[in-house]
Chain A
Amino acid sequence: MARRIPHTDVLITLMGAPHASDQVTTALRLTQALLERGATVQVWTCGYATLLTQKPLGPDKPRNLADWNREYPSLATLAEELLTAHPDRLHWYGCRFCSDDRGAVDHLPQVVLRPPAGYAANVAAADKTLLMGVI
Chain B
Amino acid sequence: MAGDPTDPTDGRVLAIVERGYRGALDKQFFDELYLATELHRQLGGLDVLLRGSAVGYALDAAPPPPLRIGNRTVDTLTDPRQGLRTLLGAGVRVLVEEPDIAALRSPLPLVDGVELAPAGATAARWAEYRMVVFL
**C-beta contact mask, B17-51 vs A, less than 8 Å → 1, else 0?**
00001111111111000100110000000000000
Q: How close is B34's CB to chain A, nearest CB, in angstroms? A: 8
Query: Which chain B positions have C-beta within 8 A of A61?
Result: 28-30
Flag if B69 contacts A78 (CB, 8 Å): yes
**Chain B interface mostly:** mixed
Check if B70 sits within 8 Å of A85, measured CB to CB.
Answer: yes
Give, as a whole number of angstroms, the nearest-CB distance from A58 to chain B. Answer: 14
- Chain A 57-76 near chain B by CB (<8 Å), digits 1 or 0: 00001101111001011010
Asked if A125 is at the interface (CB within 8 A of a chain B CB), the reply is no
Instruction: Contact check, B25 vs A28: say whether CB atoms are below 8 A apart.
Output: yes
Count how many chain A residues have C-beta atoms less than 8 Å from C-beta atoms of the other chain. 29
For chain A, residues 107 to 127, give those with C-beta under 8 angstroms from any C-beta of chain B.
Answer: none
B27: nearest residue on chain A (CB-CB)? Answer: A19
Taking the nearest CB of chain A, how far is it from the CB of B21, in angstroms? Answer: 5
Chain A CB within 8 A of B67 CB: yes
6 A-B pairs closest in CB distance: A81-B70, A85-B70, A18-B26, A25-B25, A82-B70, A72-B28
Sample of 4 more A-B contacts, CB < 8 Å, known A21-B21, A32-B70, A78-B25: A20-B23, A29-B69, A32-B67, A78-B70
